[in-house]
A and B are shown apart, each in its own frame.
Chain A
Amino acid sequence: MTPPTTSARGSRPRSLYRSMLSLAVAAVVAASIPFAAIYAGTPRQLPATAAVASAGSAGSGQSRLVTTASGRLIPAGVASTGGAGGGTAAITTRTSANGSD
């Protein structure tokens, strides 16, 4: 075991400082991801060209997600409120952007 050389002196605290600062930065950035996800989950404006149909309306096409009144996207099959043409205003159905569905 050789003693540390002059050039190596002080490298451990610097390395520790480097690691700690890197960990702190990484923790802050990583911790911001859930907040970004929450922000991304906020209600969005549907594309203007997308047809908006009331839930359960006949021939509304390949509905995959529905936007609830609170703005959350949920699978279309889950929210079955409103019958044929029931027009439950709280739930809308997203269709394809070209509106052909």
Chain B
Amino acid sequence: MLTHQLFWITSRAFGTIAMALLGTSVAVGLAMAGKLPRKRGAAARLRRFHESAALVTVGLIAAHGGLLLFDSYLRPGVLGITVPFTLGYRPLATGVGVIAGWLTAIFAASFYVRRRIGARLWRRIHRFTPVAYALAVFHALAAGTDAANPWMVATLTGLTFPVVFALSYRLLGSQRDGRPAPAAGAGGLRSAMSVPQ
């Protein structure tokens, strides 16, 4: 019974951990953008965590989808786990999950092309990170067989609260300030992420 469902169970576990890490990473990123960490040096530490957490999340998502390839029950095929809406099982929910996975991979990879594409474009791309999180929550609720379990509901609720709080805090701050975005370049990026003194 267990060996038969091993890949499916492991995939679910990876998906749940990926969800938790994605939520944490997004919340930390939004908190930095909203200049919530006031302590000196906290922003730099959080940025390191944010970056590494995003990368690990991509690995977990890859494992989440990749393990399903070996699930003899679902048999998604490479196409099913990489191309949205091609999987027969709950196509909308799984398709949204695939999109969320790709978006997370793009956002994580954008750390390494930041200099090439410029800070302004990087920030524009990065603003859509909460969308990836929202899509992942939808995927977890609509496709996940654990969606009705209290622990999953509690996990998603607990993850969503700080994400939405940090997002609202950042949006309200940018509305209040009415300041134009910092100039492009590394200096602009640093000023966007800097901790107010």
- Chain A residues with CB under 8 Å of chain B are 14, 18-19, 21-23, 25-27, 29-31, 33-34, 36-38, 40-41, 44, 47, 49, 62, 64-65, 72-73, 77, 96-98, 101
Contacts across chains A and B counted by CB atoms under 8 Å: 82
Known contacts A21-B172, A40-B142, A97-B88; A64/B147 CB under 8 A: no
What distance in Å separates the Cβ of A83 from its nearest Cβ neighbour in chain B? 20
Please count how many residues in chain B sit with their CB below 8 Å of the partner chain's CB atoms.
34
**CB–CB A26/B162 < 8 A:** yes
Chain B positions 130-176 with a Cβ under 8 Å from a chain A Cβ: 137, 141-142, 145, 147-148, 152-153, 156-158, 160-166, 168-169, 172-173, 176
How far does the alpha carbon of A18 sit from the alpha carbon of B18 in the complex, in Å?
30
Main secondary structure of the interface of A (DSSP, over half): helix
Known contacts A40-B147, A41-B148; A26/B164 CB under 8 A: yes
A101 surroundings in chain B (CB, below 8 A): 73
How far does the alpha carbon of A19 sit from the alpha carbon of B34 in the complex, in Å?
11
**CB–CB A40/B148 < 8 A:** yes
**CB–CB A19/B169 < 8 A:** yes
